[in-house]
Amino acid sequence: MRIEQESDGVSASTKHLVFAYYVTGHGFGHATRVTEVVRHLIHAGHDVHVVTGAPDFVFTTEIQSPRLFIRKVLLDCGAVQADALTVDRLASLAKYSETAVKPRAQILAQESEWLNSIKADLVVSDVVPVACRAAADAGIRSVCVTNFSWDFIYAEYVMAAGLNHRSIVWEIAEDYSHCEFLIRLPGYCPMPAFRDIFDVPLVVRRLHKSAKEVRKELGVTDDVKLVILNFGGQPSGLKLKEEFLPPGWLCLVCGASKSDDLPPKFIKLAQDAYTPDIIAASDCMLGKIGYGTVSEALAYKCPFVFVRRDYFNEEPFLRNMLEHYQCGVEMIRRDLLTGHWRPYLERALSLKPSYEGGINGGEVAARILQETALGKNYASDKLSGARRLRDAIVLGYQLQRASGRDITIPEWYTTAEDQLGPSTPASPVHDGSLALSLDFGNFDILHGDVQGLPDTKAFLHSLSELEENHKRRERKAAASLFNWQEDIFVTRAPGRLDVMGGIADYSGSLVLQMPIKEACHVALQRIHPSKHRLWKHAEARQNDKGGNPTAVLQIVSFGSELSNRGPTFDMDLSDFMEEGKPITYEKAKKYFAQDPSQKWAAYVAGAILVLMTELGVRFEDSISMLVSSAVPEGKGVSSSASVEVASMSAIAAAHGLNISPRELAILCQKVENHIVGAPCGVMDQMASACGEANKLLAMVCQPAEIIGLVDIPSQIRFWGIDSGIRHSVGGADYGSVRIGTFMGMKMIKAKASEELSNSCAANGLNYDEVEQDDLELLKQEASLDYLCNLPPHRFEALYSKSLPQSIVGETFLEQHENHNDAVTIIDHKRTYVVKAPTTHPIYENFRVKTFKALLSSASSTYQLASLGELLYQCHYSYSACGLGSDGTDRLVHLVQELQHSAESKSEGGTLYGAKITGGGSGGTVCVIGRNCLKSSEHIFEVQQRYKKATGYMPFIFEGSSPGAGKFGYLKIHRRTAPKKADSHGGK
């Protein structure tokens, strides 16, 4: 329901009311909007007790009244920021736990008692979770006023934390469920924990002075351009320099400390400066997105040059609102830090902000609060039972679920999908059957063959349809990416389904991988710098350096708006060089990590540095790349490997580099391990580069020995079913399991060395008196290079009982010095599971070898049942390592139910086994079954049952396609368009 009544203010009540207004400790934006609502409540004759950690001046500057009471208590820490733009996810969860979880019982008792002591008529929260529960305990109604909720924000942080702190999200949602309804502000995020919602206009602080008065007080004439540097009242942390500003500009700095010495052209604003007046008097604002800055920029039509924050889910929704009303210009964080501000400020001046909506949300919200406190019932009957968040989907990704919560996903998921696009990163391919009818657009293929692949045909067609007037930013950027008079190279690399092997790859296991139908396409153009079409900010940067054309890399990533990553990336290729040599991988990792919204570019641009470092390639031409992937992210089907392999293949093709698919895969693994910083094995890249359609790539990962392609028997079929739970090999769970595995191997080698020494020294024995074969085995095990080379029987006989279930990092390092894994780092304070992660790859290698042998055995029900049993054993071994998830367990259980159903038995068997895949902790389940129609029907039944139980409709992966090596590359050239007749019919 939307409420936008205009009035002269909140009418005075005949009854004096007392409000308790709780304010989150996250930033000043919440406190400033609370001030506007409180001002109207006090004007109507009520008392308001504000519970906050914000400074008094935020409230008293605007409200001077004896009816305002400020109580300094912090019950909600918000997001912990390492700096003005960087959120520390794990620290945020840890601090919330310290602030609101551990002292919870004490807080509830204290707040309930206080609320009753002040005789509160209504509790208002922006948006402190525990306040809603405390109000319920005190028998007082409560209402929330906000544009986001902490369950939504923390949901992403929980993904990074793994199993730790998962209960926080559910507890917050439970607290919010005690709130009677939500007063929702524009630019809102999905907030499924609230049962009733009422929309109001923007809550914006009123102006006290005109722009002319403000400029006069500042001593700024009309011919000077003003930019206000505003990071939500926090210090920006920037090392400001005079040359950051174009001629004729001044910068007003918010949040600067008294000790800061600012350079010329920068003016320090007082801590209690009234920013709405200054924003309205400025030509533009520069800073980070938050509700306060966005609402005041829109209300007072001040163009906003913004820099993305990482890990704050509120931001995409506010950003979309800014851009919708032509009020926002995105600045690359690298340009903010280096002072390359001019092109962005100049672009801001050309905007025509168009927001004409209401800005009286404070008044409307206050009126609703007053009426609620007087007894009016705003809650609707139809939703009154939906009091708890049970399943949550965050921008299309399902969270790991708490046990026992089995109702449907909240309705907002559909809304979020409508607003942000489909939940799976979209390729230009709309539908396979449609794509078959497409030609190659207006391109001639000079080299290569599309091999009848519908997604490749559709990708070429989409290239030909790029238009610079496209509304979506990524399409608009792509349209200006290429010089259409020059050749373009196109490559394709598929994702993969992990049939067997999974996380045992980094332990040297045999693995079996099937390339899937979904793939990543890359279009690349190599062009002389003098002919390169540069984006405006890149051109301005080059002009600032003297104007001589130099090699630049420009990348556009389709599907970026479905997440919070920037759709474009650019850099001078000279940034990869230092003193005539390529920079180190560690420096490159830091280079890409400085702007998390563009960290995705490391997967693409990192290939260039790896080629420079490993093969000595030098890049003198500019490079333009378009990346379009239909491999869904976070689902355990190697979306990152497909991007890396397609990117490096395109770079190699355009530069005439003859790199074998195997070597290319190994180079791509270096990109992910050393530049991206994800500790993956090599099987993903090998499957994407070397796989073939409808075959399993068999590889021993020591480090990457392909032993052949295994035909999938005609009677057997594999499917992948997505659990909807986001997975990342860069996440904490995968990395900790890998560390535990290497710890276990180090302990085994130490034990073998000890046994070897004892065997030779005990009772004066010498080598001749000891079984030589036993000594040889111990020698091999003392110098074990890959854990999978240890047979299961030797592991059980000598080592299994000596391994601890877990160990603290510090204790392990004291005993063993290191774990000999170059791509992971042991945290001294963290406890690592050891025995299960060590056991898994030893047995998994045996299972994979057995699986491979069974595939070539005679076709029978026994064959299928045995193959399925091996998948089940692998699945439960993952769980023992801590890499399971509720969603994948549910899918495996559903497969088991159908496998043992009477209907399956009457058909002679349909589905036979299932397992979690890849890095685990969610992602996709691999299913094996008989290749028949009834099996496909049962797969769809699993899909429907899962949706009924969780509300999430799983994506089904079926079908296969060639790897990048088999596809090769296309070299295409745009046809010259025929001249059109003029409007008078002439030629």
Catalytic positions, written as ranges: 684
Which structure tokens are listed for 967? Answer: 């596809």
H or E segment to which residue 522 belongs? strand 510-527
The separation between the first and the last C-alpha atoms of the chain, rounded to the nearest angstrom, is 58
Q: Count other Cβ atoms within 10 Å, centred on residue 599.
A: 19
Which structure tokens are listed for 481? Answer: 């990416």
Which structure tokens are listed for 302? Answer: 């001040």
Q: How far apart are CA 173 and CA 315, in angstroms?
A: 20
Q: How far apart are CA 503 and CA 683, in angstroms?
A: 9
Q: How far apart are CA 198 and CA 143, in angstroms?
A: 11
Going from the C-alpha of 491 to that of each of 447, 456, 522, 638, the distances in angstroms are 12, 9, 5, 17
Length of the chain: 987
- With beta carbons less than 8 A apart as the criterion, state whether 552 and 532 touch: yes
Q: Where are the beta strands (DSSP E) in 208-351?
A: 225-230, 249-253, 266-268, 284-288, 304-307, 328-330
Q: Residues with Cβ < 8 Å from 752, sequence gap 6 or more?
A: 778, 781, 782, 784, 798, 799
Pairing relationship of beta strands 142-146 and 122-126 according to DSSP bridges: parallel
- With beta carbons less than 8 A apart as the criterion, state whether 498 and 660 touch: no
Q: How far apart are CA 44 and CA 221, in angstroms?
A: 40
Find where tokens 């399943």 sit.
391
The sign of the CA dihedral 136, 142, 143, 147 is negative
Q: How far apart are CA 679 and CA 683, in angstroms?
A: 12
Q: How far apart are CA 621 and CA 550, in angstroms?
A: 8
- With beta carbons less than 8 A apart as the criterion, state whether 675 and 588 touch: yes
Q: How far apart are CA 510 and CA 843, in angstroms?
A: 11
- With beta carbons less than 8 A apart as the criterion, state whether 390 and 407 touch: yes
Gyration radius of the chain's alpha carbons: 31
Q: How far apart are CA 853 and CA 844, in angstroms?
A: 14
